[in-house]
Amino acid sequence: MAGDAPRAIAIEDLHWSDDATLEYVLHAIRRAPQAVLWLLTFRNDETHAELDRFRAETNRTRLALDLSVNRLTMAQVDQMIREIFDLGRAIRPEFLAPIFALTDGNPYFVEEALKALVTAGDIYESGDGWERKPMEQVRIPESVEIAVSARAQRLEPATLRTLTVAAVMGRRFDFGALQAITARDEETLIGHIRQLVAAQLVTEESPDVFVFRHALTREAIYATLLGREQKALHLAIARHIEATGGEAGDLSHHYFRAGAWLKASEWAWRAGERARQLHVPQAALEHDDRALIGLDRLGADTHPDGWTRGALLRARGQAREQVGDFDGARADDEAALAEAERIHDASSKWQAMIDLGALWASREYARAGEYFEQALALARVSGSPHELARSLIQVGNLLTNTGRPHLALDMQREALVIFEGARNAVAITCTLDLTGQTTQFAGNSFEAKEIYDEVIRRLRDAGDLVGLSSAVSMLQVVTGMASFDTMVAADDPSMQEPAECLSVATRCGSQPALAFALFSFASRQALVGAYAESLENARRSLTVAETIGHRQWTCGALLTIGVIYLNLLEADAAIRLLVKARELASLLKSNMWEFHTASWLARSHLAKGDIARAGEAVGSLPGFDLDPARAPATMAERQLLATQAEYCLATGDIQ
Q: How far apart are CA 391 and CA 399, in angstroms?
A: 12
pLDDT at 528: 80
What's the start-to-end Cα distance of the chain, in Å?
83
- Does the structure show a pLDDT above 60 at 628? no
Alpha-carbon distance values, 200 to 45, 459, 469 (Å): 7, 49, 44
pLDDT at 481: 65
Residues 122 and 103: beta-carbon distance below 8 Å: no
pLDDT at 244: 92
pTM of the complete model beyond 0.85: no
Q: How far apart are CA 558 and CA 523, in angstroms?
A: 11
Q: Is 254 exposed, middle or buried (0-12, 13-18, 19+ CB in 10 A)?
A: buried
Mean pLDDT of 14-26: 82
Reduce the DSSP state of residue 173 to 3 states and report it: strand
Question: What HEC string does 144-170 produce?
Answer: HHHHHHHHHHCCCHHHHHHHHHHHHHC
- Alpha helices in 480-607, H assignment, sequence order: 498-507, 511-527, 531-548, 551-567, 571-588, 591-607
Q: How far apart are CA 167 and CA 574, in angstroms?
A: 54
Alpha-carbon distance values, 135 to 120, 621, 643 (Å): 11, 45, 49
The least confident of 66-80, 164-178, 191-205, 393-407 is 66-80
Q: How far apart are CA 189 and CA 191, in angstroms?
A: 5
If one counts every other C-beta atom within 10 angstroms of the C-beta of residue 569, the result is: 9
pLDDT at 294: 94
Q: What is the pLDDT of residues 37-68, one digit of tens each?
A: 888 888 776 677 788 888 888 877 777 878 77
Q: Which H or E run includes 97? A: helix 93-103
Alpha-carbon distance values, 379 to 375, 424, 430, 511, 514 (Å): 6, 18, 18, 31, 32
pLDDT at 381: 93
**Pairwise pLDDT comparison (172 vs 624), residue with the higher score:** 172
- The gap from C-alpha 124 to its chain's centroid, in whole angstroms, comes to 24
**Please, what is the angle between helix 261-277 and helix 309-323, to 10°?**
50
pLDDT at 124: 66
Q: How far apart are CA 42 and CA 55, in angstroms?
A: 11
- Does the structure show a pLDDT above 70 at 494? no
Q: Which residues contact 612 (CB under 8 A, 6 or more apart)?
A: none
**Pairwise pLDDT comparison (84 vs 329), residue with the higher score:** 329
Q: Which H or E run includes 326? A: helix 326-342
In the structure, what pLDDT confidence band is assigned to residue 353 with cuts at 50, 70 and 90? very high
pLDDT at 497: 47
Mean pLDDT of 590-611: 89
Q: How far apart are CA 349 and CA 76, in angstroms?
A: 44
**DSSP per-residue letters across 496-525:** TSHHHHHHHHHHTT-HHHHHHHHHHHHHHH
Instruction: Give the torsion through C-alpha atoms of 421, 424, 428, 430, to 10 deg.
Output: -150
pLDDT at 175: 94
- Does the structure show a pLDDT above 70 at 135? no
Residues 261 and 298: beta-carbon distance below 8 Å: yes
**Which residue in 368, 376, 371 sits closest to 392, CA to CA?**
376
Q: Which residues contact 199 (CB under 8 A, 6 or more apart)?
A: 151, 152, 154, 155
In the structure, what pLDDT confidence band is assigned to residue 502 with cuts at 50, 70 and 90? confident
pLDDT at 133: 64
Mean pLDDT of 296-308: 89
Q: What is the pLDDT of residues 470-481, one digit of tens each?
A: 888 888 888 776
Q: How far apart are CA 579 and CA 521, in angstroms?
A: 22
Rounded to the nearest integer, the mean pLDDT of the chain is: 85
If one counts every other C-beta atom within 10 angstroms of the C-beta of residue 561, the result is: 29
Q: How far apart are CA 184 and CA 539, in angstroms?
A: 56
In the structure, what pLDDT confidence band is assigned to residue 488 with cuts at 50, 70 and 90? very low
Buried residues in 344-373 as b, exposed as e (16+ CB within 10 A)? eeeebbbbbbbbbbbbbbbbbbeebbbbbb
Q: How far apart are CA 313 and CA 319, in angstroms?
A: 10
pLDDT at 341: 95
In the structure, what pLDDT confidence band is assigned to residue 411 with cuts at 50, 70 and 90? very high
Percent of the chain at pLDDT > 70 equals: 90
**Which residue in 451, 425, 426 sits closest to 438, CA to CA?**
451
CB under 8 Å, gap of 24 or more: what pairs does 491-497 form?
492/449, 494/524, 495/524, 495/528
- Alpha helices in 40-87, H assignment, sequence order: 49-60, 74-85
If one counts every other C-beta atom within 10 angstroms of the C-beta of residue 119, the result is: 12
Q: How far apart are CA 602 and CA 611, in angstroms?
A: 8
- Does the structure show a pLDDT above 60 at 622? no
Q: What is the pLDDT of residues 213-237, one digit of tens each?
A: 888 888 889 988 999 999 999 999 9
**Which residue in 404, 454, 400 sits closest to 428, CA to CA?**
454
**Pairwise pLDDT comparison (33 vs 193), residue with the higher score:** 193
